[in-house]
Amino acid sequence: MSRKFRKALRALHTTFPKPDPLREAKFLGSLPRQYPKKKIAIPFLHMSGKPLYYGIPAAVIAVVLITAGTEVYHNVSEQKLPVLTPTETVTVTEASGHETATEIPTATERTDTTEDTPTQPGIPETEALATMPAVQTDSVSTPGTDAVQTAPPPAETIPQATQSPQVDTPEPTVPTPNEPEPTAPGFSYEPPPAAAFRDERVTPYSSYTVPDEVLEYTPPPNDSLPPPSSSVPANALVVMGRIDTVWYTQSGGEAWMQLDITITQSYRSSYQTGDRISVYVEGGYMSLADYLTLHPERAEGFEYPDAALQQSAAAEFGNIPRTGTEQLFVLTTNIPSDVPYGAYTGALYAPSSYDAQNILQQIGN
């Protein structure tokens, strides 16, 4: 009976009339023409109709920024800032975890080398760096930032000691692919970390902790989801994932679990190893008090006081996935309406099971 009730409830909207299609089409068709308004950012437009003092913070910020910009401009134009000589080339290298054909030292190694490279005593580090021989590292340099040359400064602004290496600086050499690249001491560029892993985990709306006393049920089959099938739906994602967290929650009066997983292998999805997602699977534990409220027909025969009910749980699934284990997940986006958006529903299989092997075979792995 409760299944029929749930089904009828979900189809409740069919008992209400639908809008007149003509009126609807006419109205919706008029919307784009009627509301093409786009907000255009015009300075101080936000002050329209407001007192003048609303503009004071913006005006103060504008003055500060203009002053700072002017100061920088004057410093640069009067050569107060250290600049590089024309024959010097500073190479900006990119540290990346990708393997390359030649063993090019990583940025960390180069930094270490810098410490070993003697700098001339009494020269500030920025100036000493400016005297470095040019080194080309095309194989690892970032396009567009390979070499940066600046205009020559007046001689009096650079200490004599820093100019001498210009004479002795050897011609830039291009390393052959088999040669280890000369180290570029000092000036290295730390790029942002490699593309971060996708983290699409969600937070469950509610969760239960499992008390000591658990009353087990054999629930009726849930008709809200299709029965598990050994065939993989065409639009289903298939990934191997490690279970990081198990949340016990409920959806539509049934116990569900939210599994936060880290993908260890993607067979059919756009995810990559290391990405994190949340998967809802049927089963788990929920509060017995809540369970009996939503399943009053099952409350008969239970003579628990309220306090005991509040501290008890209904178990609906004997095989609770353990955290830290790897499982094969077949995922769909067919989530119940009261599950946080972004999560998947899915079925999980032990990687060594027949079902898992069968699924992998079906998708060509």
Residues in touch with another protein (CB under 8 A): 1-2, 4-5, 7-20, 23-24, 27-28, 31, 35, 37, 39, 205-206, 253, 290, 293-294, 296-297, 337-338
Identify which of residues 34 and 270 has a Cβ nearer to another protein in the complex: 34
Question: Residue 35 corresponds to which tokens in the numbers above?
Answer: 């509301």
User: Could you tell me the smallest distance in angstroms from the CB atom of residue 270 to another protein?
Assistant: 22
Backbone φ and ψ for 47, nearest 5 degrees, come out as -85, 0
Identify which of residues 18 and 322 has a Cβ nearer to another protein in the complex: 18
Decide if 272 contacts 239 (C-beta within 8 A).
no
Residues 6+ apart with CB under 8 A from 146: 91, 92, 136, 138
Burial (Cβ within 10 Å: 0-12, 13-18, ≥19) of residue 329: buried
Identify which of residues 12 and 307 has a Cβ nearer to another protein in the complex: 12
User: Could you tell me the smallest distance in angstroms from the CB atom of residue 290 to another protein?
Assistant: 7
Backbone φ and ψ for 6, nearest 5 degrees, come out as -60, -40
Identify which of residues 247 and 349 has a Cβ nearer to another protein in the complex: 247
Identify which of residues 31 and 101 has a Cβ nearer to another protein in the complex: 31
Of 296, 267, 261, nearest to 281 by C-alpha is 261
User: Could you tell me the smallest distance in angstroms from the CB atom of residue 28 to another protein?
Assistant: 6
Ordered alpha helix ranges (H), 56-189? 56-77, 107-116, 125-130, 160-168
Decide if 166 contacts 87 (C-beta within 8 A).
yes
User: Could you tell me the smallest distance in angstroms from the CB atom of residue 113 to another protein?
Assistant: 50
User: Could you tell me the smallest distance in angstroms from the CB atom of residue 19 to another protein?
Assistant: 4
Identify which of residues 292 and 348 has a Cβ nearer to another protein in the complex: 292
- DSSP, collapsed to helix, strand or coil, labels residue 311 as coil
User: Could you tell me the smallest distance in angstroms from the CB atom of residue 307 to another protein?
Assistant: 18
Decide if 344 contacts 281 (C-beta within 8 A).
no
Question: Residue 342 corresponds to which tokens in the numbers above?
Answer: 């972004």
User: Could you tell me the smallest distance in angstroms from the CB atom of residue 283 to another protein?
Assistant: 20
Residues 6+ apart with CB under 8 A from 306: 289
Identify which of residues 19 and 180 has a Cβ nearer to another protein in the complex: 19
Burial letters 95-129, b for 16+ CB under 10 A, else e: beeeeeeeebbebeebbebbeeeebeeebeeebbb
Could you tell me whether strands 276-282 and 344-349 are parallel, antiparallel, or unpaired per DSSP bridges? parallel
User: Could you tell me the smallest distance in angstroms from the CB atom of residue 224 to another protein?
Assistant: 13
CA distance 12 to 20: 19
Q: What is the dihedral of CA 269, 274, 278, 284, to 10 degrees?
A: 110
Question: Residue 38 corresponds to which tokens in the numbers above?
Answer: 């786009």
CA distance 110 to 114: 6
CA distance 194 to 202: 24
Identify which of residues 4 and 98 has a Cβ nearer to another protein in the complex: 4
User: Could you tell me the smallest distance in angstroms from the CB atom of residue 3 to another protein?
Assistant: 10
CA angle 61, 65, 69 (to 5 degrees): 175
Identify which of residues 51 and 296 has a Cβ nearer to another protein in the complex: 296
User: Could you tell me the smallest distance in angstroms from the CB atom of residue 5 to another protein?
Assistant: 5
Identify which of residues 24 and 213 has a Cβ nearer to another protein in the complex: 24
Cα-Cα end-to-end distance for the chain: 43
